Amino acid sequence: SDTVLSVRELRTEFRGDRGNVRVLDDISFDVGRGRIVGLVGESGSGKSMTALSLMGLVPKPQGHVSAKSIMLDGTDLATLTPDGMRRIRGSEISMVFQEPMTSLNPVRKIWDQVGEPLAIHHGLKRRQIRDRVLEMFELVGIPEPKARLDAYPHELSGGLRQRAMIAMGLICEPKLLIADEPTTALDVTTQSQILRLMLDLRDRVGTAIIMITHDLGIIAEMCDEVNVMYAGQIVEQANVFDLFERPSHPYTRGLLASIPKAGAARVSRRMPSIPGMVPNLAKLPPGCRFGPRCGDAMPICQQRVPELVGLGQGHVAGCWLHAPQETSGQGAAP
Ligand code: SF4
Ligand code: MG
């Protein structure tokens, strides 16, 4: 099939003495083969938690992940044991984080770390691993790749470290690469080089990518489809053209309204501020979670949770503005 990942009703909770907090509430989305799918939203919206849930990396024992299904190319990740998940992680599905330094061991040579997934998943000999890392360094455009193999992480620039991490993410030819704010810690020039590299890898290697970002400029440049997240839910889902041409959830409109016009520096295209804050997930407002910040709120919005409504061509939004048949029941005769 041409769907690599199909997530249905992913739900992640943290269980503690003072009760349970549901940090992801019925997340459902698809990633097509060779597609780049964005997860966008403010911090605290659940983007990174979605990634950790898919990777089987939600902290235990407080964290609890469940789903109707998480199909990765025919395998339901939701049914795997921790051991089964370990076999998939780093080989079939891998992840690149914001700050490579934190995921690298400072006292191990870079080739040894980048090649580690091959040792774990394929049991290759060190000579073979080193050769393969060299190939990957060439693929991700690390200059003088042979000379860099024996470098330690601190001897590489931030941009080269991120290229090395992308090499590590791709070394087992995963079906899916999750990139969580992969360029946020980098300067503007290096940011665009890394993004261009990822687009290029998608085109040459065909890797499907989930791109997590708070930067709508990155969404516009990189993504085919977009999921807008708010307070642990997906509130709008659309292809990238529809999202920018016909944003349908007031939250999405708010995000887009405050993007500076083309030509402005990327740094100013960071997540714009919408008045108010993402709600405390332990004390959600009744009805629509965006209600307290929404300029379009209606009485029903505080009474009932809006469901996702189809707007055509795979475009969906979870907002009462788009469910007129429901709202009309509020007063008018049927
Ligand atoms: Fe605003 Fe109501 Fe739509 Fe929520 S459901 S985003 S409060 S209009
Ligand atoms: Mg995050």
* 76 lies in the same domain as 188: yes
141 CB less than 6 Å from ligand 1? Answer: no
* 41 lies in the same domain as 20: yes
296 CB less than 6 Å from ligand 1? Answer: yes
Total number of domains constituting the chain:
2
Whether residue 334 lies inside any domain: the answer is: no
* 164 lies in the same domain as 231: no
Whether residue 138 lies inside any domain: the answer is: yes
User: What CATH number does the domain containing 223 carry?
Assistant: 3.40.50.300
pLDDT, tens digit, for every residue of 118-143?
999 998 999 999 999 999 999 999 99
294 CB less than 6 Å from ligand 1? Answer: yes
Select from 172, 203, 232 the last residue of a domain: 172
* 186 lies in the same domain as 76: yes
Whether residue 304 lies inside any domain: the answer is: no
pLDDT, tens digit, for every residue of 40-91?
998 889 999 999 999 999 998 999 999 999 999 999 999 999 999 999 999 9
The answer for residues whose C-beta is within 8 angstroms of residue 137's C-beta and 6 or more apart is 114, 145, 148, 149, 163, 164, 167
Q: Which domain holds residue 270?
A: 3-92+174-296
Checking if the pLDDT of 231 tops 60, the result is yes
Token pair 């395998």 is found at 75
Q: What integer best gives the mean pLDDT of the chain? A: 91
Whether residue 312 lies inside any domain: the answer is: no
Checking if the pLDDT of 271 tops 80, the result is no
Q: What share of the chain is helix, strand, coil (3-state, %, to 5)?
A: 40, 25, 40
Checking if the pLDDT of 325 tops 60, the result is yes
* 184 lies in the same domain as 275: yes
Q: For 192-221, b where at least 16 C-beta lie within 10 A, e where not — what string?
A: ebbbebbeebbeeeebbbbbbbbbbbbbbb
Nearest ligand, CA 184: 2
Can you name the residues that pair with 259 across neighbouring β-strands? Answer: none
* 116 lies in the same domain as 261: no
ipTM confidence score: 0.97
Whether residue 206 lies inside any domain: the answer is: yes
Whether residue 311 lies inside any domain: the answer is: no
Measured distance CA(223)–CA(213) in Å, rounded: 11
Nearest ligand, CA 46: 2
User: Looking at residue 307, what is its pLDDT?
Assistant: 92
User: Looking at residue 329, what is its pLDDT?
Assistant: 47
pTM of model > 0.90: yes
* 47 lies in the same domain as 12: yes
* 75 lies in the same domain as 139: no
* Greater model confidence, 334 or 21: 21
Measured distance CA(73)–CA(302) in Å, rounded: 40
Select from 143, 172, 201 the last residue of a domain: 172
Closest atom, ligand 1, to C-alpha of 250: 6
